[in-house]
A and B are shown apart, each in its own frame.
Chain A
């Protein structure tokens, strides 16, 4: 039985189960699988083995929706690679290759060179986690940007080495605990700051780089589409909570990501040729504690009566305030940019308030 037929039967089964009328039979030769029949391209399919509520799986899927299907991916070693392709299965529906931890940008460079040599327009994407991007793969990434390959590099930033069991990376935020930056009598989690990767990327003077968050899919997908339209290197860092590593309930992935943006700790900005050209304003700025309190990795900061905890909280608040000041994140009451950014919903997908 063909794959398409199998999926078709699967949908009928579901329909029956949920009391829906069966769809009229499709004309011969137009049979799509129900997943392909979804209104958006699902380049990353179900059955992958990400944890419950995985922010990275979601981010990758959202990116694929806007990028695919005429793309090919070089994927760095990491959770995304492991949970999508346990042989003999693959959750990908686009050509995809995983080589190593630190070479996604370089492998992508080769793929892009191959496409150029063949005269094809298939866009090459490179995916990496924060470990594979901020740290071990940084050199290859810098080289790729400098050589001006036509590649969209997407960093799924979950702020630690999650694949190996939550070790600190240079993307881990200040004072977060990981298994290699635990909190104890002498330490309050990670001592150092989260690396300002976007500024480093921006210094390559590439056409476009931006930060995005899974909590704002419309914004994320707009940025992907914009980057896809550029013939040259582009970079996207997507804040992707890890329920396991950040120690929050799996249902709170979006909530946590949203609060990171709303408190200013993860600013959503767009940079073109080194200049900040757009930011997502925050209308109601939350205190960082709203963000911290949801996550076990910051639990040591939420203990009452601990002067060190208070100081670290104040430090994180100062970092958030710094971002808000530097990027001008504070939105005005009726700022039209703001309403575009907050992904308001209305009936049938229409944003509320617009007739």
Chain B
């Protein structure tokens, strides 16, 4: 049954349906509404969890680490600076292979201070060893959140559910939330084989010498690659339950015969799709690729999705200064050895909350025609706003 819910509220409800035993969070825009809603659920007795109001994101991540290590389901949420403050813990959680779920309400990273949406935060911890799933809308965010708990448990990897700050978190739209009973049946009780247990007192977080560190990383990398199947399978299973899927690793839409592809993560693709729908008669249509799993990176699925394309526009919502777009670079790397691979046009846009209008579709398609266009650009930057020497 649909309800008109703000994104944050819907996420809080979804989290509550998964019955986490411990929730720890520290407020930060635009994640705040999620923890506020969770707090309210706890205060009203609609959710039974140990809600730990920590003094920093660092502690939030540490608390859920400790809780999960002690054998209970735990959840946290943050954004932006919070992700970076957590960074050290995030690597730690992943390295210890502790199953956790965290929502990231994606936001730019200071300086300059910006509270608005882009992907700089989650991108900054892309190598932390967490699974990163990006959500295109709030329904996906809700569904992915619930799926994430199961993925985390099955893979013994932590899962980061990324949703665009404000654009999704603060947007009210109709959402279907599953019944509690459905979730209870679908999501097995939390189990962590290496949990801290006085009856079987293991030591977690040991010091590993050079003679075994490479093996630790190999095993983690292998687990991430295996998680690709789990992510896809869990999404299919969820579809079996609810009739809704989130696209597995990535989702392709648009006309099959299109020679142009546009790949994006998160909410951007909806606007681009509308732009395509409303494009002028002379503007070509495109195949739209929604990249849901950013880590692990679905190389095989991506190659298949790009089959037959001449051009692939990759939209980044963050930038790696001195390189360009991270998603674009990674996509290029994946397609590098594919014969007849499409030419990559990598653009960052919507940085620091810059509004992306639907007209961007036409502009992007038009830009393909420019033979002098650089391999990467910040597409919506207005160079006139810069001093000449900075353009």
- When A and B assemble into the complex, do they touch directly, with CB atoms less than 8 Å apart? yes
Query: Which chain A residues have a beta carbon within 8 Å of chain B's beta carbons?
Result: 69-72, 74-75, 81-82, 84-88, 90, 92-100, 102-103, 105-118, 122, 139-140, 142-143, 146-147
Query: CA A117 – CA B55 in complex, angstroms?
Result: 21
Asked whether A114 lies within 8 Å of B21 as measured between CB atoms, the reply is yes
Given A70-B198, A82-B207, A110 contacting B89 (CB threshold 8 A): no
Name the 7 nearest CB pairs between A and B, nearest first. A110-B66, A106-B62, A143-B55, A95-B196, A98-B205, A117-B21, A114-B70
B391 within 8 A of A: no
Instruction: Determine the residue in chain A with the shortest Cβ distance to B202.
Output: A95
What sequence of 0s and 1s flags, for each residue 18-59 of chain B, a beta carbon within 8 Å of any chain A beta carbon?
A: 000110100000000000000000000000011011111011
Residues on the A chain within 8 Å of B55, using CB: 139-140, 142-143, 146
Ordered by A's residue number, 24 sampled pairs between the chains whose C-beta atoms are within 8 Å are A71-B198, A81-B207, A85-B206, A85-B207, A86-B206, A86-B209, A87-B206, A87-B207, A95-B198, A97-B196, A98-B203, A100-B92, A103-B61, A107-B69, A110-B63, A110-B66, A113-B22, A114-B66, A114-B71, A114-B74, A117-B72, A140-B56, A143-B59, A147-B54
Instruction: Determine the residue in chain A with the shortest Cβ distance to B205.
Output: A98
Asked whether A100 lies within 8 Å of B89 as measured between CB atoms, the reply is yes
Q: Which B113-127 residues have a C-beta within 8 angstroms of A?
A: none
CB distance from B154 to the nearest CB of A (A): 20
Instruction: Determine the residue in chain A with the shortest Cβ distance to B74.
Output: A110
Residues on the B chain within 8 Å of A111, using CB: 66-67, 69-70, 196
Contact partner, A117, options B50, B56, B209, Cβ 8 Å: B50
Contact partner, B65, options A72, A92, A110, Cβ 8 Å: A110
Asked whether B203 lies within 8 Å of A92 as measured between CB atoms, the reply is yes
Residues on the B chain within 8 Å of A140, using CB: 55-56, 58-59, 62
Query: Which chain B residues have a beta carbon within 8 Å of chain A's beta carbons?
Result: 21-22, 24, 49-50, 52-56, 58-72, 74, 88-89, 92, 96, 195-198, 200-209, 212
Residues on the A chain within 8 Å of B206, using CB: 85-88, 90, 98
Quick one: which of B50, B63, B71, B207 has the most chain A CB within 10 A? B63
CB distance from B42 to the nearest CB of A (A): 12
Query: CA A69 – CA B208 in complex, angstroms?
Result: 26
Asked whether B70 lies within 8 Å of A94 as measured between CB atoms, the reply is no
Query: CA A327 – CA B237 in complex, angstroms?
Result: 67
Instruction: Determine the residue in chain B with the shortest Cβ distance to A142.
Output: B55
Asked whether A94 lies within 8 Å of B201 as measured between CB atoms, the reply is yes
Contacts A75-B205, A87-B206, A100-B92 supplied; 12 other A-B pairs, CB < 8 Å: A85-B205, A95-B197, A95-B201, A97-B204, A100-B88, A103-B62, A112-B66, A113-B22, A114-B74, A118-B72, A139-B55, A147-B53
Residues on the B chain within 8 Å of A85, using CB: 203, 205-207
Asked whether B50 lies within 8 Å of A116 as measured between CB atoms, the reply is yes
Residues on the B chain within 8 Å of A147, using CB: 52-54
Asked whether B204 lies within 8 Å of A96 as measured between CB atoms, the reply is yes
Asked whether A113 lies within 8 Å of B63 as measured between CB atoms, the reply is yes
Asked whether A99 lies within 8 Å of B58 as measured between CB atoms, the reply is no
Instruction: Determine the residue in chain B with the shortest Cβ distance to A84.
Output: B203
Query: CA A28 – CA B100 in complex, angstroms?
Result: 43
CB distance from B216 to the nearest CB of A (A): 9
Residues on the B chain within 8 Å of A92, using CB: 201, 203
Query: CA A59 – CA B59 in complex, angstroms?
Result: 27
Contact partner, B66, options A93, A102, A107, A139, Cβ 8 Å: A107
Residues on the A chain within 8 Å of B69, using CB: 97, 107, 110-111
CB distance from A132 to the nearest CB of B (A): 12
CB distance from B190 to the nearest CB of A (A): 10
Quick one: which of A84, A92, A114, A139 has the most chain B CB within 10 A? A114
Asked whether B66 lies within 8 Å of A109 as measured between CB atoms, the reply is yes
Query: CA A100 – CA B204 in complex, angstroms?
Result: 12
CB distance from A320 to the nearest CB of B (A): 35
Query: CA A146 – CA B21 in complex, angstroms?
Result: 21
Asked whether B56 lies within 8 Å of A139 as measured between CB atoms, the reply is yes
Asked whether B62 lies within 8 Å of A113 as measured between CB atoms, the reply is no
Given A97-B69, A114-B21, A114-B66, A106 contacting B59 (CB threshold 8 A): yes
Given A90-B206, A114-B22, A109 contacting B197 (CB threshold 8 A): no
Asked whether A106 lies within 8 Å of B70 as measured between CB atoms, the reply is no
Residues on the A chain within 8 Å of B63, using CB: 106-107, 109-110, 113
Residues on the B chain within 8 Å of A96, using CB: 196, 201-204
CB distance from B59 to the nearest CB of A (A): 4
Instruction: Determine the residue in chain A with the shortest Cβ distance to B71.
Output: A114
Residues on the B chain within 8 Å of A103, using CB: 58-59, 61-62, 65, 89
Query: CA A69 – CA B63 in complex, angstroms?
Result: 23
Query: CA A82 – CA B209 in complex, angstroms?
Result: 11
Asked whether A94 lies within 8 Å of B205 as measured between CB atoms, the reply is no
CB distance from B292 to the nearest CB of A (A): 29
Asked whether A110 lies within 8 Å of B64 as measured between CB atoms, the reply is yes
Given A113-B24, A139-B56, A140-B59, A118 contacting B71 (CB threshold 8 A): yes
Asked whether A100 lies within 8 Å of B62 as measured between CB atoms, the reply is yes
Query: CA A107 – CA B54 in complex, angstroms?
Result: 11
Asked whether A72 lies within 8 Å of B70 as measured between CB atoms, the reply is yes
Residues on the A chain within 8 Å of B70, using CB: 72, 95, 110-111, 114-115
Residues on the A chain within 8 Å of B198, using CB: 69-72, 94-95, 122
Asked whether A108 lies within 8 Å of B66 as measured between CB atoms, the reply is yes
Query: CA A87 – CA B67 in complex, angstroms?
Result: 23
Query: CA A282 – CA B53 in complex, angstroms?
Result: 43
Query: CA A111 – CA B63 in complex, angstroms?
Result: 7
Residues on the A chain within 8 Å of B92, using CB: 99-100
Query: CA A215 – CA B18 in complex, angstroms?
Result: 50
